Amino acid sequence: MQEVTAVDTVVDTATGTAPAAAQQGSWGGMLLYCLIIFVIIYFFMVRPNKRRMAEYQKMVDSIKVGDRIMAAGIYGTVKKVGDKTLEMEIAKGVVIEVSKNAVASVEK
């Protein structure tokens, strides 16, 4: 029977070869590590972003004629609401058409 010393272990890891038991354990640890990272990313990035997008969509869907909005940095009053666009009056007699996605805020 051959005796394994600390020098043999260091040489084995330095050359990139490791015992089979150590390789199996590293896969389980790596999988657990990836799963934990995924859960952290989901709770701190994906979930809050979904919530913000739902609130934004609710705000855009609630726009009606007469609301004062800011779209693309321009303030105006909504004159007509369409499916994907709306018309807003930015000055007396000046009406422009903007995308609903450009709306940044709504003042009731």
**Domain extents in the chain:** 1-61, 64-108
Report pLDDT for 107: 86
Measure the CA–CA gap between 108 and 106, rounded to whole angstroms.
6
Measure the CA–CA gap between 8 and 13, rounded to whole angstroms.
9
For the segment(s) 64-108, the CATH number from 1.10.486.10, 3.40.30.10, 2.60.40.10, 2.30.30.60 is 2.30.30.60
Residue pLDDT, tens place only, 36-61: 999 999 989 989 999 999 999 999 99
- The pTM (predicted TM-score) of the whole model is 0.62
The residues of the chain scoring below 50 in pLDDT are: 11, 21-22
- Asked whether the CA dihedral 74, 100, 61, 58 is positive or negative, the reply is negative
For β-strands 74-81 and 85-91, DSSP reports them as antiparallel
**Beta-bridge mates of residue 86:** 81, 98
